[in-house]
Amino acid sequence: MRAARRLLYVQVMRLPHATLALAALCLALASACSIFTRSIERPTAEVRDVSVSAAGWSGVAGQLRLDVTNPNGFGVPLAGIDWELAVGGARAVTGTIELSQTIPARGVAPVTTSLTIDARDAVAVAGELARGARSYRISAKLRFTTPVGPLDVTVQHSGELADAGALLGSRR
């Protein structure tokens, strides 16, 4: 009888510990799930500059400079940029750039990337520049990777190309 009472006492004493361990496990799982279900604020981007810097037989090269702001409390990796550029009345040319840059938590990061316009499209752009066109329109889709999946941010900007006349011998 004494052995049975002792066994019952041990089982009863283990019950609160098991309940406490189960409660702790549930709490840990709930907090881990909240990490993945928390809302992610959309980063923003502002175009600082678009430039056309070199022309050759293979095409035209330029640069896109952005300031990307991340309002989140964690870094967000920028995986790439899909862009479309129109100069003057020339049809828009497109391109894709793959990147590997993390935008810091609650920070702003400068992003500079090259724009390459192949020879076929460069003829139309060069024709517009030769006629004195300096206005441009760019549309870019920034592709971010986040803990809950991909996130795209679109930015559109219009402006004037600086130093584009130097490519053609300054015909203004």
98 with 26, same domain: the answer is: no
CA–CA distance, 123 with 153 (Å, rounded to integer): 30
> 140 and 64 in one domain?
yes
For 50-99, what is each residue's pLDDT tens digit? 988 777 777 788 899 999 999 999 999 999 999 999 888 777 788 899 99
- State pLDDT tens for residues 97-123: 999 999 999 999 999 998 888 888 888
Confidence of residue 17 (pLDDT cuts 50, 70, 90): low
Q: Are 100 and 77 in contact (CB under 8 A)?
A: yes
Give dist(CA 55, CA 58) in Å, integer.
8
Q: Is residue 94 located within the same domain as residue 116?
A: yes
The boundaries of the domain holding residue 147 are 44-168
Same domain, 88 and 32: no
Tell me how crowded residue 112 is: count the other CB atoms within 10 A of its CB: 11
Rounded CA separation 132/170 (Å): 9
pLDDT for 5 beyond 90: no
Residues 30 and 76 in one domain: no
Q: Are residues 33 and 101 in the same domain?
A: no
Residues 12 and 49 occupy one common structural domain: no
Task: Mark 133-145 as b/e (b = at least 16 C-beta within 10 Å).
Answer: bbebebbbebbbe
151 and 76 in one domain? yes
Residue 109 sits in a domain whose CATH number is 2.60.40.10
78 and 113 fall within a common domain: yes
